[in-house]
Amino acid sequence: MPNLGFGELVIVLLIVMLIFGAGRLPQIGEGLGKAIRNLKRGLNTDDDIDVTPTEKQVPDKAASRVEDAEVVDPKIETKP
């Protein structure tokens, strides 16, 4: 990657000023700073998601009814 000298940086700054205008440059700089800060913060934190349940989702009474349920085959037609 080529090194950018002072002259090249001035040309890039002039092009950016022509495209965005001098009034928007502080907002762009602030946005870039926040993005870099959030990226560094995100890389340094441990964001493992804990998916272990803290309590049972199905009550014991409902679980026993499910175990005793009759299995019905939908392919078999019953006559009323």
- pLDDT tens figures, 25-49: 889 889 999 999 999 988 887 767 7
Work out the pLDDT band at 7, boundaries 50, 70, 90.
very high
Q: 0.75 cut: is pTM over it?
A: no
- H-helix segments, the chain: 6-20, 25-44, 60-67
CA separation for the pair 27, 38 (Å, rounded): 16
Q: Please say whether the beta carbons of 20 and 28 come within 8 A.
A: yes
